[in-house]
Every structure is written in C-alpha cells, then in structure tokens.
Amino acid sequence: MEQLWAHDERTIRELITGLGGHHAYTTIATVLTNLERKDLVTASRKGRSVRYRPRHPRSEHAARLMEQALSSSNDRGASILHFVRSMDERETALLRRYLDDMDAGGTPGSGSAAP
C-alpha cells in the first residue's frame, strides 16, 4: 500500500522494482488480489498490463482503521480519550480548531482546521 500511495498507480513489475526487486511476481500478485478482495485497491487493464491503485487515500484508510478499532472497544469514550491524550500539541491544536469550527456552525475542515 505504501508504494501505491506514494505513486498512485503501479503494475506488479513496478511494485517489485519499488520494493527492491527481491519479491516474487506471484507473491505480489497474490497480495494485490487479497487487497482488491478487501476493497483496498482497484485494478484496471491498460494494454497488456494491469495497473493497481489505492481505493482510498492514506488518510481515509487510517480513519477507517481508527473507526474499526473504536467499534471493537467496550468503552468507545475511554478509547477516544486515551487516543487524544496520546496526541502531540500540534495534533491537539488541529483537533481543537476542527471542533471550534463545528461549534461555530462552519464546515469542519474547510477553515482553520485544515492541516
């Protein structure tokens, strides 16, 4: 996924080269098939090759993982608070601006809360 997020779209051969060239073609193909089955990548044929793209940007993927983690928690509020306490000052300020935008009736993320 790191290679796809960094380059937006890659063939299996391009991925192997980007990973240092020491992975088997069939291994990378299997991984991509599994990622496609999990709706993490899309495949499209261009000429004789298949090009793979991430289905979601890295930030959206991270948010989905966070939501999955929260949904498995017995105490969602405590999990959120623990996570917020682990944030650095810059991240906390960003969250504060985002929440202030929401309280002011603005569109969160469109104003001062954008990174």
The CATH number linked to 50 is 1.10.10.10
DSSP string of 43-87?
EEEETTEEEEEESS-HHHHHHHHHHHHHHT-S-HHHHHHHHHHTS
Residues 92 and 49 in one domain: no
Is residue 61 included in any domain, yes or no? no
Is residue 37 included in any domain, yes or no? yes
Number of structural domains (the chain) is 2
**Domain region containing 14:** 2-54
Residue 46's pLDDT is 86
Is residue 68 included in any domain, yes or no? no
Residue 105's pLDDT is 82
Residues 50 and 81 in one domain: no
Residues 44 and 7 in one domain: yes
Is residue 71 included in any domain, yes or no? no
Is residue 64 included in any domain, yes or no? no
Which tokens in the block code for residue 92?
A: 């906390």
- pLDDT tens string for the chain (115 positions)? 999 999 999 999 999 999 998 999 999 999 999 999 999 999 999 889 999 999 999 999 999 999 999 999 999 999 999 999 999 999 999 999 999 998 888 766 554 444 4
Residue 62's pLDDT is 93
Is residue 46 included in any domain, yes or no? yes
Residues 37 and 81 in one domain: no
Q: Which residues of 7-46 are buried (b: 16+ CB within 10 A; e: fewer)?
A: eeebbbebbbeeeeeeeeeeebeeebeebeeeebbeeeee
Helix axes 58-71, 76-85, angle to 10 degrees: 130
Is residue 115 included in any domain, yes or no? yes
Angle at the Cα of 63 from the Cα atoms of 86 and 41, rounded to 5 degrees:
140
Is residue 17 included in any domain, yes or no? yes
Residues 11 and 47 in one domain: yes
This prediction has a pTM of 0.71
